[in-house]
Structure 1
Amino acid sequence: MSEMKNFFFDFDSTLADTRNVAVLSTQRAYEAQGLAIPSREAVVSYMGVPIEVSFAKMAKEDLSDQDLEDLYTVFRSQYHVTEQEGITLFDGIATALEQLTQRGANLYVVSSKHSVPLRRNLDQVGLNGTFAAVSGSDTVDHYKPAPDGIWNLVTRFDLDLAESVMIGDAKYDMQMGHNAGVATAAAMWGAADPDSVKAEQPTYLLKTPADLLTI
């Protein structure tokens, strides 16, 4: 297999450990709106899925479109506050990205997050200048596991699918990579449900960020 040149990274639980921030922000938003608070397990199980899809599913109540819009707004403001409490890069990520860059690889982020908080979070963890471009949920017509986020970047930068790999911690990332026609790499250091990720038969199974240098 040829050496990979184009690396598409998920952000949450792949580059950075954001699980506590996501759980707290979600629970606080539901509580602020007087709704039944989803369990930590429920929130974690939907990580990697845009809030536009997951929030209605996690709600015990029937919510109108306006209720949901209000919930998204409260969540985003909560996230802005909560992210100050701790988004951290996984050990070894910064070094691996630096070495990939030195190797001449092209690095991108494809996330279910909106581009604005995504860029803010990248800045916060010191990765602002590391990626050639980001693709957030606001830049696609169809969310993961649809291939839109990857294809947008492939088209924009004229990338070769055969030299491209999607790296993520969730089954949705693996499905997205398969649907886009690129290789897939499971970031097992952040996987909340390792079995569901392995079930997608990723091209590469990575135990630590240093393993990125082997693909």
Structure 2
Amino acid sequence: MHNFFFDFDSTLADTRNVAVIATQRAFAARGLTQPSRATVVSYMGVPIEVSFAKMADRALTAVELETLYTTFREQYQQAEQLGISLFTGMADTLSELKARGERLYVVSSKHSVPLQRNLEQVGLGTTFAAISGSDTVANYKPAPDGILNLLDRFDLMAAESVMIGDAKYDMQMGHNAGVATAAALWGAADPESVKAEEPTYLLQAPMELLTI
């Protein structure tokens, strides 16, 4: 593999607590029942434009949803101060891949503005050749848009590419894009659902990316 497409949340960095806190606070602020931690975690990897309507205890209008998204992003930025950290071995793994001349990208369900901010927060602001956030695609994960756009933009070969992620949606997106898939089991909230997608590689630690 020479082209590495990384999910961000729970793949590159541990953001689970931040996401749960921000989601619960946003729902409470808008007068909605707070979803449980387990519910929020189960939707990680899905854009908020999809998951929030499903987690709400009542039907929301388009205006109410937009307000909820805005509140969440405000809460997320505050909750970030509680700490976002790279998984053990990730920094060294990325450095080694870059030293080898491999091409690194991020394909996330997160909006590209907070995504870039989070990358800078964990010291990866200039590590990746490009990022793809939810605002840069017509169709969200598990649609292949994020990967296909980067393959086309950088003239990359699908046969030399791999999608690395912690959720089944990442594996489905990789399959739909015709690239290899690597399950980041170090961050997976539901490892069995990820394995059920039959990823090309099952990885227990970031350093194992150096062997594929």
TM-score, scaled relative to structure 1: 0.98
Match of 2:133 among 128, 131, 136: 136
Unaligned runs of 5+ in 2: none
Secondary structure of the residue aligned to 1:109 is strand
Q: Considering only aligned residues, what root-mean-square deviation do their CA atoms show, in Å?
A: 0.4
How far did 1:180 drift? 0.1
- State the one-letter code of the partner of 1:107: L
Match of 2:43 among 32, 43, 46: 46
Q: Does 1:108 align with 2:105?
A: yes
How far did 1:35 drift? 0.7
- State the one-letter code of the partner of 1:161: A
How far did 1:184 drift? 0.2
Separation in 1 of the partners of 2:31 and 2:76? 18
Identity of aligned residues (%): 75
Deviations 1:28-73 (A, max 9, x none): 0001111101000000000000000000000011211111111001
Secondary structure of the residue aligned to 1:107 is strand
Separation in 2 of the partners of 1:32 and 1:138? 24
Q: Does 1:145 align with 2:142?
A: yes
Match of 2:71 among 43, 66, 74: 74
Q: Does 1:174 align with 2:171?
A: yes
Unaligned runs of 5+ in 1: none
Q: Does 1:33 align with 2:26?
A: no
Q: Does 1:195 align with 2:186?
A: no
Total equivalences in the alignment: 212
Runs of 4+ that moved beyond 3 A: none
Separation in 2 of the partners of 1:126 and 1:146? 29
Match of 2:5 among 5, 8, 33: 8
* Aligned position for 2:209: 212
Secondary structure of the residue aligned to 2:104 is strand
